[in-house]
Amino acid sequence: MRLSINKRFAIGGDFEFKIEDIKKKDKQETLLNGQKGTWSASGRSALAKILKHLKDIGIQEILLPSFLCESILQPVKKLGFRYSFYPVTKSLIAQPEPKPRTAVLVIHYFGWINPSTCNLRSEQIDGFYLIEDASQAALSNWSFANSANRFVVLSPRKFGPLPFGGWCNIVTMAEKPSHAIECLAWRSIAARLAKSTYLTEHGLPVDNKIEEFYLSAFMAVEAYLNNHPTDSGIPQIILDIMDGLDWAEIGKRRRANWQYLHELLSKFVEPLMTDLPTDVVPLGYVIRLAYRDKVRKALAARRIFCPVHWPLPTEITKSRFPNAVKLSETSLTLPIDQRYGPEDMAYMAKAVEDVL
């Protein structure tokens, strides 16, 4: 039974953290599919590592998808790459036309391996460099035989209680974390531990002061990453938490929640993805809505907090990239993560039905 909406219940929002989240050491096996690479502070700094490597071998140009997270542009601009955008279809299929001696970035949207990846992997013989952005697909099967022309980026911080964490499949010396990152990591962990206690007291009323405290710790990390997109040193405590999370269980929960929500919702909303292959762990359950912002607001009033993927850079115009702009204006990502179970999914489905 759900509590009334001014109580300390929430679906979505940044991950709280409990000491019990740390299980036996998983050695990141599940997460890395046994592949070799280097950890860094964020997905964008992992991308920066790849871009630096490409720069060293004379590559200066990158093709980016028109439907993308703006943070991807940060390292591209900072490292002085020339960039342009390519179209994606309504169903998120990448349609780049790669040229020799350029890089092409493909996003595995919401956990699904981009359907164009298979062709792009085999076309690489033509001399372009493929960067697979698996930031939203960290727990899906993104692994593939290593080749000198293929790179992978992960951002596991989107899948668990981790303020920092990015990875790429280039083996280099890890950098020492900055003092600022160390401080932000501890501040964020403290805020997440406190948030988990706060949420267990779900009979008590919402306390805006306490919620602002979590939000400010979250925003401080995001501001740091926006301002330092190439800073790569990651604190040991983050690696220790990453090592101890039960990634296999996290994957199972997310899949089960997605499937249940799909059963409940697909009759009366338009889901962006309509089936769940066995090797996919979804980031969220994405629906398309004409009045997306209105629905998002109404759900937030019921303490269901949904991210929007993504507000696009101003360079992406409707006339050139109608599909990307439409996706950006109409998609809403419903949370399905490991903190929730069937009862929460049923509550959310009912809330969506009510506010439509």
Ligand X SMILES: Cc1ncc(COP(=O)(O)O)c(C=O)c1O
List interacting residues with ligand X (CB under 6 A). Answer: 42-44, 69, 71-72, 107, 133, 135-136, 155, 157, 166, 225
Give the integer Cα–Cα distance in Å for 356 and 354: 6
- Contact in structure between 11 and 199 (CB atoms under 8 Å): no
Selection from 133, 151, 127, 144 nearest residue 92 by Cα: 133
Smallest distance, ligand X to C-beta of residue 222, A? 8
Give the integer Cα–Cα distance in Å for 87 and 252: 33
- Looking at beta carbons only, is 135 or 257 nearer to ligand X? 135
- Looking at beta carbons only, is 13 or 43 nearer to ligand X? 43
Smallest distance, ligand X to C-beta of residue 337, A? 15
Smallest distance, ligand X to C-beta of residue 237, A? 17
Smallest distance, ligand X to C-beta of residue 91, A? 17
- Looking at beta carbons only, is 42 or 323 nearer to ligand X? 42
Smallest distance, ligand X to C-beta of residue 154, A? 9
Give the integer Cα–Cα distance in Å for 141 and 275: 16
- Looking at beta carbons only, is 50 or 349 nearer to ligand X? 50
Smallest distance, ligand X to C-beta of residue 298, A? 25
Smallest distance, ligand X to C-beta of residue 217, A? 16
- Looking at beta carbons only, is 198 or 310 nearer to ligand X? 310
- Looking at beta carbons only, is 136 or 338 nearer to ligand X? 136
- Looking at beta carbons only, is 65 or 251 nearer to ligand X? 65
Name the residue number minimizing CB distance to ligand X. 43
- Token pair of 46 as six digits: 């992992």
- Alpha carbon distances (Å) from 34 to 27, 28, 142: 10, 8, 11
